[in-house]
Chains A and B, each alone.
Chain A
């Protein structure tokens, strides 16, 4: 293998991803994995920060990876706000949670997809790539 490694690691960003999770370690792990895949990643610790980030930014993410249980503003409330905001409503959301009935809850917030924690790296990359092609 070459020093530069896999060509994906150095290719220009194929997409922009917003990670919303209250756990800093998870935010960092997700960011590292996705950046390693060449994505541009921004992260927020709760729903309120995520909304601020989205409304301040010029570029909209291709997908939002959203945790449900968060302080300040939960994933539920964030999703409701996002859907009420016409400029943000179209952004696809993948719920990422350790919740036991994740499938049901993802449907309740009308998410486009869901990933159970702990998530397998290949499953994660596969899911994200669907929204960034």
Chain B
């Protein structure tokens, strides 16, 4: 009971029973006191009871107040109203009691109001205390002189001062702040507020020094506290630890910047790659040195974001510069460089001497290194330049020159790009030069071929005309000589020699014409069944009279081995082979000619006993104008086209021809020709009938 009473008193929130008990007690105590002071208070018995009512109402509220009032009315009527110790009320007494009751009720209600206000204020203060203690921000309040009146747990923790210790301390002792960058003490915001009287925030980057020396980045604001009259009675300061936030923010900013930088680099790299690819593709299509230079200067320098550029080539055996292509320079400036000596001082000369890339990043450096060019430089407005040798196999073809209007730091990437561009350019230049040379050579060769063809054609025609009359007249003479008795034998032999040589001339002309036709692909075949047995025998019989010392032996069947070919052309092939066999057997002897069937092909072998073919001559034997080294041109005439014509005609037939040395002496030539097969539509019914 006593405990709860004490607790209630302390808390200021007494229970209802206690409040009424207190009212009764107050009434009884007053009654006792009034009885003791009876002679003094008798004329006004309610005097002391006003105090009891006021106390009851103040402490317990209106109810206890009214209770005390009621008890007072009863007690005063009984004890202090005549006829004393009995209740007997006249009208005046009743009026007096009612007046007292009214005053008592008034006192009770006033006291009640007062009590409620006090209770509300207490509750509010309590709530404020709890709130300030529980919020996440640090709070310190001071009085008007700057002495701490309140510090919440967060502030206590950040400053390192306990609330009890901090209480009454000057703010400057507890809240010590410095500038994070300069580390100079910062004026306390409290004094600012005291002076200015308005809400003040801290500058950025303020460090709070705790009692133990810990530094924390804080963010705060300070506000004045004023009383009802507006007089400054203190300041309240709210602050928080932003070390973590600041770090995170810095980290985020750094990440954003890094990402942006990486993206920029990647985009720039992608742009450069795209441009370089475009350059590479364009260079692949460029076929002349001029086109190559244009590509490098137009597209390549764009990849570098150069404002102007040119390709210089070494001319006059490396003594002067020639401008192959340029972009972005006034033509008159370029004209000044045409055919300038490589020895004239310029970045070109220095890069040529060192055989390495030369870059200059500022206009000051340009002026300093080449004062002679200051005028030119002022005219073109160059601030940075790069001169890169176009190197091919350690030999300088020329120079890639790029200029920039703004000073420029050449990064490793820039230099790599320049090197790459110069390397590609040099290779493309060389390729274009070779291509041009090759094209010129090819055109010259084609022209030469045409000229030769024309010459051969005309020559053959012109040679054949006199040959025609020569042969006819000779043969006529021979015929008449047969009828005449006046000609002696030597004359007849002489006539025979003239006729033979005229024929030989004719054959040579024909062979030359054939070579020309084969070269131009103009020789075509008229194919049909060709009996190689009869053909070889006929050609051999025609040639036999030309040499008495050789015997042409036709072996194998007399007829029936049919090849698919052009009879006139195959006759030519056999003539060449038989004539060769005779020609390369200067000591005479037999020539064995044999036709054999061989698995879908017909073979003709021609074997002589002549000088044979050296091993080393075999691979080239059928080449045009080739002559075996063992054939002495003074002994055995020829121009080396017979076997070439043989091979070409046989190949046109889809056949082949081989040459070999015979084990003893002489050579053996074998021609393989496709066998004649009758047309399928004729063959098909025959097969059906056979089945």
Residues of B within 8 A of A33 (CB): 472, 475-476
A26 interface residue (CB < 8 Å to B):
yes
**Residues of chain A at interface, number, CB under 8 A:** 25
Query: Would you call B482 and A1 a contact (CB within 8 A)?
Result: yes
B506 interface residue (CB < 8 Å to A):
yes
Given contact pairs A100-B457, A121-B476, A29 touches B469 in the complex (Cβ within 8 A): yes
Query: Would you call B472 and A9 a contact (CB within 8 A)?
Result: no
Which of A1, A30, A32 meets B484, CB within 8 Å? A1
Given contact pairs A26-B468, A100-B513, A120-B471, A3 touches B476 in the complex (Cβ within 8 A): no
Which of A1, A3, A28, A122 meets B469, CB within 8 Å? A28
B210 interface residue (CB < 8 Å to A):
no
A23 interface residue (CB < 8 Å to B):
yes
B549 interface residue (CB < 8 Å to A):
no
B195 interface residue (CB < 8 Å to A):
no
Residues of B within 8 A of A122 (CB): 475
A36 interface residue (CB < 8 Å to B):
yes
Given contact pairs A26-B468, A118-B464, A9 touches B473 in the complex (Cβ within 8 A): no
A117 interface residue (CB < 8 Å to B):
yes
Given contact pairs A98-B461, A118-B502, A29 touches B482 in the complex (Cβ within 8 A): no
Query: Would you call B467 and A118 a contact (CB within 8 A)?
Result: yes
Query: Would you call A119 and B468 a contact (CB within 8 A)?
Result: yes
A25 interface residue (CB < 8 Å to B):
yes
Q: For B466, give the chain A residue with the smallest CB separation.
A: A25
A6 interface residue (CB < 8 Å to B):
yes
Residues of B within 8 A of A6 (CB): 479, 482-483
Residues of B within 8 A of A1 (CB): 482-485
Query: Would you call B480 and A120 a contact (CB within 8 A)?
Result: no
Query: Would you call A23 and B457 a contact (CB within 8 A)?
Result: no
B456 CB, min distance to chain A CBs, angstroms:
10
The B466-514 residues at the A interface (CB cut-off 8 A) are 466-473, 475-476, 479-480, 482-485, 502, 506, 513
B465 interface residue (CB < 8 Å to A):
yes
B42 interface residue (CB < 8 Å to A):
no
Query: Would you call B485 and A3 a contact (CB within 8 A)?
Result: yes
B339 interface residue (CB < 8 Å to A):
no
Query: Would you call A117 and B468 a contact (CB within 8 A)?
Result: yes
Query: Would you call A5 and B476 a contact (CB within 8 A)?
Result: no
B405 interface residue (CB < 8 Å to A):
no
Residues of A within 8 A of B467 (CB): 117-118
A19 CB, min distance to chain B CBs, angstroms:
11
B460 interface residue (CB < 8 Å to A):
yes
B517 interface residue (CB < 8 Å to A):
yes
Q: Show 26 A/B contacts (Cβ-Cβ < 8 Å), sorted by A.
A: A1-B484, A5-B483, A6-B479, A9-B483, A23-B465, A25-B466, A26-B465, A26-B468, A29-B468, A29-B476, A30-B472, A32-B473, A33-B472, A36-B476, A36-B480, A98-B461, A98-B465, A99-B461, A100-B513, A117-B465, A117-B467, A118-B468, A118-B502, A119-B471, A120-B475, A122-B475
Residues of B within 8 A of A53 (CB): none
Q: How far is the CA of A26 from the CA of B445 in the complex (A)?
A: 37
Give 1 or 0 for each of A93-123: 1 = CB within 8 Å of chain B CB.
0000011100000000000000001111110
Q: How far is the CA of A3 from the CA of B487 in the complex (A)?
A: 12
B521 CB, min distance to chain A CBs, angstroms:
14
| Residues of A near any B CB (own CB < 8 A) | 1, 3, 5-6, 9, 23, 25-26, 28-30, 32-33, 36, 69, 98-100, 117-122, 124
Residues of A within 8 A of B457 (CB): 100
Q: How far is the CA of A36 from the CA of B461 in the complex (A)?
A: 27
Q: How far is the CA of A98 from the CA of B473 in the complex (A)?
A: 17
Query: Would you call A98 and B484 a contact (CB within 8 A)?
Result: no
Q: Which of B468, B470, B502, B513 has the most CB of A within 10 A?
A: B468
Q: How far is the CA of A49 from the CA of B107 in the complex (A)?
A: 170
Q: How far is the CA of A98 from the CA of B611 in the complex (A)?
A: 36
Q: How far is the CA of A28 from the CA of B506 in the complex (A)?
A: 20
Query: Would you call A124 and B464 a contact (CB within 8 A)?
Result: no
A70 CB, min distance to chain B CBs, angstroms:
12
Q: How far is the CA of A8 from the CA of B480 in the complex (A)?
A: 11
Residues of B within 8 A of A3 (CB): 485
Q: How far is the CA of A25 from the CA of B475 in the complex (A)?
A: 15
Residues of A within 8 A of B468 (CB): 23, 26, 29, 98, 117-119
B500 CB, min distance to chain A CBs, angstroms:
13
Query: Would you call B484 and A5 a contact (CB within 8 A)?
Result: yes
Q: For A24, give the chain B residue with the smallest CB separation.
A: B469
Q: How far is the CA of A118 from the CA of B465 in the complex (A)?
A: 7
Q: How far is the CA of A119 from the CA of B506 in the complex (A)?
A: 10
A68 CB, min distance to chain B CBs, angstroms:
11
Query: Would you call B469 and A25 a contact (CB within 8 A)?
Result: yes
Q: For A22, give the chain B residue with the smallest CB separation.
A: B465
A21 CB, min distance to chain B CBs, angstroms:
9
Residues of B within 8 A of A26 (CB): 465, 468-469, 472
Q: For B505, give the chain A residue with the smallest CB separation.
A: A118
Q: For B485, give the chain A residue with the smallest CB separation.
A: A1
Query: Would you call A118 and B471 a contact (CB within 8 A)?
Result: yes
Query: Would you call B484 and A100 a contact (CB within 8 A)?
Result: no
Given contact pairs A25-B466, A98-B464, A100-B457, A119 touches B484 in the complex (Cβ within 8 A): no
A18 CB, min distance to chain B CBs, angstroms:
17
Residues of A within 8 A of B485 (CB): 1, 3
Q: Which of A28, A36, A69, A121 has the most CB of B within 10 A?
A: A121
Residues of A within 8 A of B473 (CB): 29, 32
Q: How far is the CA of A28 from the CA of B460 in the complex (A)?
A: 21
Query: Would you call A124 and B480 a contact (CB within 8 A)?
Result: no
Given contacts A26-B468, A118-B464, 5 further A-B contacts (CB under 8 A): A25-B469, A32-B472, A98-B468, A117-B467, A118-B506
Residues of A within 8 A of B464 (CB): 98, 117-118
Query: Would you call B476 and A100 a contact (CB within 8 A)?
Result: no
Residues of B within 8 A of A36 (CB): 476, 479-480
Which of B460, B475, B483 meets A98, CB within 8 Å? B460
Given contact pairs A6-B483, A124-B472, A100 touches B517 in the complex (Cβ within 8 A): yes
B399 CB, min distance to chain A CBs, angstroms:
57
A67 CB, min distance to chain B CBs, angstroms:
10
